[in-house]
Amino acid sequence: MSYYKHHLFFCLNERTNGEACCASQGAQAAFDHCKTRVKAEDLAGPGGVRVNKAGCLDRCAGGPVAVVYPEGTWYTYVDASDIDEIVDVHLKRGRVVERLLLAPDVGR
C-alpha cells in the first residue's frame, strides 16, 4: 500500500507572457477549496488523500488542470462544484468523474 491512497496535484503555474496558464483560471481558489473539503471530510493524511501544489504540468490548453495519482487521472474543472464532485466521487468513492476528464491529447 502506498503512503497516500490518492495524491492530487493542482497546476498553479502562472505565466506572465500572455500564454494560457492555470493560475489565470482560478487554480489557486480551486486548490484552496479542495484542501478545505478534503480536511472537512476527514480524508487528509497518511492512508488518505494529499492535495499538493504543482508547477506547470504541461497541459495548459485544457486548464485549469489537476491530476490524481496513483491512477493518473487528469481533470479539468470550472468551479468549486466541480472540485466537490472530484472529492465526493473520485476521492471518497473511487470512481472517475467522466464529465471532467481532460482529453488525452490536450497538451500545452
Q: Is 46 exposed, middle or buried (0-12, 13-18, 19+ CB in 10 A)?
A: exposed
**14 assigned to some structural domain:** yes
| Domain count for the chain | 1
**108 assigned to some structural domain:** no
Spell out the per-residue pLDDT of the chain, length 108, in tens: 689 999 999 999 998 888 889 999 999 999 999 999 999 999 999 999 999 999 999 998 898 999 999 999 999 999 999 999 999 999 999 999 999 999 999 887
- Answer whether 6's CB lies under 8 Å from 41's CB: no
CA distance 108 to 1: 33
**What pTM value is reported for the model?**
0.93
* pLDDT score, position 52: 97
**78 assigned to some structural domain:** yes
**54 assigned to some structural domain:** yes
Q: Which of 7, 91, 82, 84 is nearest to 51 (CA)?
A: 7
* pLDDT score, position 107: 83
* pLDDT score, position 16: 87
**96 assigned to some structural domain:** yes
CATH number at residue 89: 3.40.30.10
| Other CB atoms within 10 Å distance of the CB of residue 72 | 7
Domain that holds residue 62: 6-100
